[in-house]
Amino acid sequence: MTDAVRTQGLFKRYGPQVAVAGVDLVVPAGSFAGLVGPNGAGKTTTLSMITGLLRPDGGRAEVDGLDVWRDQVQVKARIGVLPEGLRLFERLSGRELLHYSGRLRGIPKADVLGRAEDLLQVMDLAGAADKLVVDYSTGMRKKIGLAAALLHNPSVLFLDEPFEGVDPVSANTLTEVLQRFTASGSTVIFSSHVMDLVERLCDWVSVMNGGHIVAQGPLEKVRGDRSLNDTFLALVGGQRDGGDTGLTWLGAKNLGAKDLGAGDLGSRNLPGGDLGAGDGEPK
């Protein structure tokens, strides 16, 4: 069996900070693969570099045995991408967005129209197909983004946090579509930090931490006889000892009358710095 995705020493740094420090990611063809890791582990950076959206500082990435940066025409025809953040062409309607992305890839118009209608039906978006994407909810955006990524029938699908902020009904639709997709022999790679979901859907797991792959393989092998969550916490060092010593004031038994009113607001309840820090950081 060939590998759908294989990277060697993929490396990316932003200034002094190394985001991805030599990742050797392997995903066999036909698998439903989960890329898991804590925030800041380098998942998004890795996926961006494999899909040609970010230039690596070093290393190689191959999709279906083709070099991502040398054989761009073939690689880009084979991959479907749903990046993080989901910025779509906001001023097109859902249907127009599908038509555009299909025809941009050179698929004949008649085919595009048919496939778009199918996808809209399956994604339960037929009712909102003529509304502008800018007015869509998060779940609808993920679904239309996935539809656009599937329209040209890719062999490998890259999804960055596809279930984040999605309601259970939409999530169910998404998983059904993805399971059908992998059942036909295509590959899905998605990043997530919801372990239950990964455990339920995936047959292959890659665990990232601090810019490295720390474990990789079939789900059963990686988790052993523990749950994936426990394995994950053990791998990335998430075990905390005595983490509850500092929060002695927290909880109902400590609730005094003076904390209920707005009387001491000036001194405590409105820390300007907290508001400011949130606004000052780039998203």
| Contact residues: other proteins, CB under 8 A | 51-55, 72-77, 79, 81, 83, 85, 87-93, 96, 99-101, 103-106, 108-109, 130-132, 134-135, 137, 148, 262, 265-267, 269-270, 272-273, 275-277, 279-280, 282-283
Give whichever of 247 and 265 is closer to other proteins, judged by the CB atom.
265
Hey, which residues does 217 pair with through a beta bridge?
205
Strand 3-14 relative to strand 17-23: parallel, antiparallel, unpaired? Answer: antiparallel
Give whichever of 79 and 205 is closer to other proteins, judged by the CB atom.
79
CA 77 and chain centroid, separation: 20
Question: Minimum distance between the CB of residue 70 and other proteins, rounded to whole angstroms?
Answer: 11
Question: Minimum distance between the CB of residue 257 and other proteins, rounded to whole angstroms?
Answer: 15
Residue 65: partners with Cβ closer than 8 Å, 6 or more residues away: 2, 3, 6
Question: Minimum distance between the CB of residue 58 and other proteins, rounded to whole angstroms?
Answer: 14
Question: Minimum distance between the CB of residue 181 and other proteins, rounded to whole angstroms?
Answer: 17
Among candidates 54, 56, 41, 84, which has minimal Cα distance to 214?
41
Give whichever of 93 and 173 is closer to other proteins, judged by the CB atom.
93
Question: Minimum distance between the CB of residue 269 and other proteins, rounded to whole angstroms?
Answer: 6
Give whichever of 146 and 222 is closer to other proteins, judged by the CB atom.
146
Among candidates 26, 32, 7, which has minimal Cα distance to 177?
32
The answer to whether the CB of 92 falls within 8 A of the CB of 144 is no
CA angle 163–41–279, rounded 5-degree value: 75
